[in-house]
Amino acid sequence: MARAGSNSRIWTNKTTPWHNRRLQPIVRRSLADRPDSLPCSEKTKVYHSHTPSLCTYDRGTVVEFTYNRRHRVVCVTQEFTEITVVGEDDTGLIANVTTLLFERSINIEGLDQAVREGVFRMSMQVDTREMVCTQEKLRTDLHELGEELGVDVQVRFPADRETKQIAVLVTKESHCLEAIFEAWASGELGADVSVVIGNHSDLEPLAEKYEVPFHDIGDDKGNPDEEQLLELLAEYDADLIALARYMRILSPDVVFRYENRIINVHPSLLPAFPGAEAYLQALEEGVRIAGVTAHYVTTDLDQGPIITQRAFNVPPNSEVEDLERIGQPLEADALLEAIDLHLNDEVQVHRGRTRLRESADGNPQLGAPLELNDLNPDRPLDGLGEIVADSQPEADD
């Protein structure tokens, strides 16, 4: 069960203990507030108890309540500690972890879990501000519980994320890695590139130029050692993983540990042409417009939430090399834009889609340039023509 402070109350949708249910949000609000409104401090998330919907509001926003049994809303700050549990699927995992948190007066604000190919993943957002132990004690206790249960437990406190560390995964293509390095060297990246990891050693000289450690985890055929990959990601404390044209599919064992923290760039306008040889697929289908997509990585190949896209015209009689020459600079640009949005916490994932937070600065280019809006015609539209509108029969009374 969850802890309720002296001035707060916990609701759930059913009487079943919440840690025995899946994907049920915990809904809390202050009893001191009026039942029809709740002022929010700082940036807040609002969870609806009767749906999995989530909205984001800025400082000072007042959220209206529909105060009945089926619809209650709560404001919670985003400065939560993140706990991720990954391992073989087994009964009792959720109950064991949540019981440990309850015993230390830690309130659970969000919980999500999934199983893919026998790998269990649970992601939690918890409020540790009033916990009755130190951060190191909680980290140690969770790691010991993980060893007892045979799972891996990661804990990230808000302070752990003040200086972001990026791990870049590469194969042989250099353009995206080079763009990341140039942005980092110019101070425009907003994070440190702590390590480059490749399944081939071709790009090691580029990493050496920028004095960044390079690790080759591939065998003679480029098959990566994912156990070594996970060890390196933990060693360099990666906050974000950028796939700079990394030509290997990450297993659920990796993806689950870094959910919504792995960004890939794919050379097509997803969801069109997923998988290998995307430019060739575009040519074979005869498209007139092609493009690239930066997206979060999920366990479904090239189906993760889209962050940014870039498009370009396909020249007549093009070959794959022509599309690569046009598309590669756009790949780097889309990837950098997505990284920037992620690092600045300006994009959020909701129901498999991304959207900008209301506090997002500037005008990020999520798709085609804004100038295109002025070039597109705005007429005709269905039903707006005078003749058609005048000839429409009147509706019956």
Centre a 10 Å sphere on the Cβ of residue 232 and count the other Cβ atoms it contains: 19
Q: Is 239 considered catalytic here?
A: no
Is the backbone peptide bond immediately before 271 cis, with ω within 30 degrees of 0? yes
Separation between Cα atoms, residue 59 and residue 360, nearest integer Å? 13
Candidates 294, 286, 282, 285; CA nearest to 323 is: 282
Q: Distance (Å, rounded) from C-alpha 19 to C-alpha 126?
A: 14
Structure tokens at 330: 């756009």
Catalytic residue (choose from 127, 239, 253, 302): 302
Rounded Cα gap, residues 281 and 287, in angstroms: 9
Q: H or E stretch including 289? A: strand 289-296
Q: How far is CA 332 from CA 44, 177, 199, in A?
A: 32, 8, 20
Is the separation of the CB atoms in 164 and 240 below 8 Å?
yes
| 3-state helix vs strand vs coil in the chain, percent to 5 | 30, 30, 45
Alpha helices for 134-186 (secondary structure H): 135-149, 175-185
CA–CA separation, 246 and 186 (whole Å) = 24
H/E element holding 196? strand 192-198
- CA angle centred on 165, ends 161 and 167, rounded to 5°: 140
Residues forming the active site: 302
